[in-house]
A and B are shown apart, each in its own frame.
Chain A
Amino acid sequence: MDFLDYAFMQRALLAAVLVGVTAPAIGIYLVQRRQALMGDGIGHVAMTGVGLGFLLSASPVWMATLTSVLGAILMELIRWYGRTRGDIALAMLFYGGMAGGVMFINLAPGGSNANLTSYLFGSLSTVSQSDVTAICLLAGFVVLVTLGLRRQLFAVSQDEEFARVTGLPVRALNLLTAVTAAVTVTVAMRVVGLLLVSALMVVPVAAAQQLSRSFAATFAIAVAIGVSVTLGGTITSYYQDVPPGATIVLLTIAAFVLLTALAAPLARRRARAAAGGLPAGDPVECAIPASREAGGKVGV
């Protein structure tokens, strides 16, 4: 446990835990709405913010938050209004965001794509005290929304049409989901990087689904997986000198594979238990009715 003596590792572990909680917490609603790759799109848009941060000598974390929130709102608006050309508009937004990031960072004095790399793939060991403050504030917002409004977000993500008839402010909740996803992307940016963020939003949820039958259990298991892999990945990268972002994502996928392998016998056992609940001699339906047989004998 000697890594706990280093201030940079303390900051890295704190940031890792916060990402482990927040990414699956908002990711579960995106998966429920079948928008699993939205996080990836927001990550692309956030690059413009990082570039702008360097160009304007502002905090890249806060600039990325600003642009990704604007980008997420724009995506939600495109989903409402753009029916036929929606996907083309989204493609322009994503790649425009990425190109903007590369352009701005190269325009910044002394800036180059090398600066961008730490945001694209994460750079846990360089997380500063002010980064940690920003990450804590943003993560607090994400937890507040995803837990505090869980029933409303569940209803809207499950069945938007029905949610409208229960009087829920569907559009506002959709926007809030998009904004929260954008905030989560910037929380995770320093830990796993913008290009790998989406994996932490989606894969823990997919892994949790292998075991769970309820939304609540899926949420809890996904967050538990998220925290385990971000902590595990961070500590592994300390001892093995491997990139933390990639380690975390590979560990998440390993967790998915492991749980899928474990879930198959579990599902079989559940099915057997359910079948055990039926009365004995179940195949009655398929047997020849006794009365007809008896009638036949009489005829002979």
Chain B
Amino acid sequence: MTEPVISLRGVSAELAARPVLRGIDLTVARGEVVALLGANGSGKSTAVRTIIGQVPVSAGEIELFGTPRRRFRDWARVGYVPQRTTAAGGVPATVTEVVSSGRLSRARFGVLRRADHAAVRRALELVGMADRAKDSVNALSGGQHQRVLIARALAAEPELLIMDEPMAGVDLASQEVLARTLREQVAAGSTVLLVLHELGPLEPLIDRAVVLRDGCVTHDGPPPPALGQHALPGHDHVHPHGPIRTGLLS
């Protein structure tokens, strides 16, 4: 077997002196689609943010593509989709301008060549936003904005996609586009780590689920079947806050 794409061993992290991760282990193999599940405050977003280096690690080891994260420089292999709230600047910007910044990891000295512009266009087509390329991102709906952020991650043609709550606050039409985009990426051999509040429409894609609770891994295996209301067809509500109440987690 080749080396794992993501490997966390005994990782702990603190936010404002409060322990958020208490020694978690997480491995994602090449081509795998892994969902990181858990209630709010369980540490799933923090886990992802330690992987990308946004949150410092107080103990443990993180490796990306077999390289310790501190020495990892090959960021063009990683596509990151942050929670949607982080990307709003004080100056208008078009969809193309935002997506182009995702290509910087492949562009030398920040100069985009013809192939780079083509990759940006392709990424926009993948998420069905090519016709909005010249529009201001401020004029988009929540779901369209999320598609733009995914296109920004895809612009570098990454091998690994890390997505933090990609379905939160996304309308049904955009959810379907996102699920289709992800399916195509997985079919093409991408590795995916998703932070999710619940499995929802992405369930058929997911190979393995890792459940966090109070900063510890409580389940690592096949995606757990949804229970109660969550098992009903067409159930797709998104919890903005409050503890999750599925049979699995409660």
Interface residues in chain A, defined as those with a beta carbon under 8 Å from any beta carbon in chain B: 28, 31-34, 36, 83, 149-152, 154-155, 157-159, 161-168, 205, 209, 212-216, 218
Contact = CB atoms under 8 A, between A and B. Distances in A.
Contact of B76 (A32, A36, A167, A212): A167
B86 A161 contact: yes
A-B interface, 9 closest residue pairs, ranked by CB to CB distance from nearest:
A167-B75, A155-B101, A165-B80, A166-B105, A213-B136, A32-B89, A151-B110, A159-B87, A214-B94
Contact of B89 (A33, A164, A165): A33
Interface residues of B, number: 37
Nearest to A35: B90
Nearest to A29: B91
Contact of B93 (A161, A166, A215): A215
B78 interface: yes
Contacts of B76: 166-167
27 contacts: A32-B89, A36-B90, A152-B110, A158-B98, A159-B87, A159-B101, A161-B52, A161-B86, A162-B101, A162-B152, A164-B53, A165-B78, A165-B162, A166-B75, A166-B76, A166-B102, A166-B105, A166-B156, A167-B75, A168-B104, A213-B92, A213-B139, A214-B97, A214-B134, A214-B136, A215-B92, A216-B97
A164 B54 contact: yes
Given A152-B110, A214-B134, A167 B105 contact: yes
Contact of A151 (B73, B82, B101, B134): B101
A213 B94 contact: yes
Nearest to A160: B86
A166 B72 CA distance: 12
B171 interface: no
Given A151-B110, A152-B104, A28 B91 contact: yes
User: For the complex, would chain B's binding face be called helix, strand, loop or mixed by DSSP majority?
Assistant: loop
Given A166-B102, A167-B75, A157 B110 contact: no
Given A149-B110, A166-B75, A31 B91 contact: yes
A161 B91 contact: no
Nearest to B155: A166
Nearest to A83: B16
Given A32-B91, A213-B135, 7 more contacts: A34-B90, A151-B100, A151-B110, A154-B97, A159-B87, A162-B86, A166-B101
A213 B82 CA distance: 23
A32 B94 CA distance: 14
A36 B107 CA distance: 30
B140 to A, nearest CB: 12
Contact of A159 (B75, B78, B86, B135): B86
Nearest to A213: B136
B112 interface: yes
B92 A161 contact: no
A140 B57 CA distance: 41
A158 B87 contact: yes
Contacts of A158: 87, 89, 93, 98, 101
Nearest to B149: A162
B90 A32 contact: yes
Contacts of A154: 93, 97, 101
Contact of B91 (A162, A166, A218): A218
B82 A162 contact: yes
Contacts of B90: 31-34, 36
A166 B98 CA distance: 13
Interface in B108-167: 110, 112, 134-136, 139, 152, 156, 162
Contacts of B94: 213-215
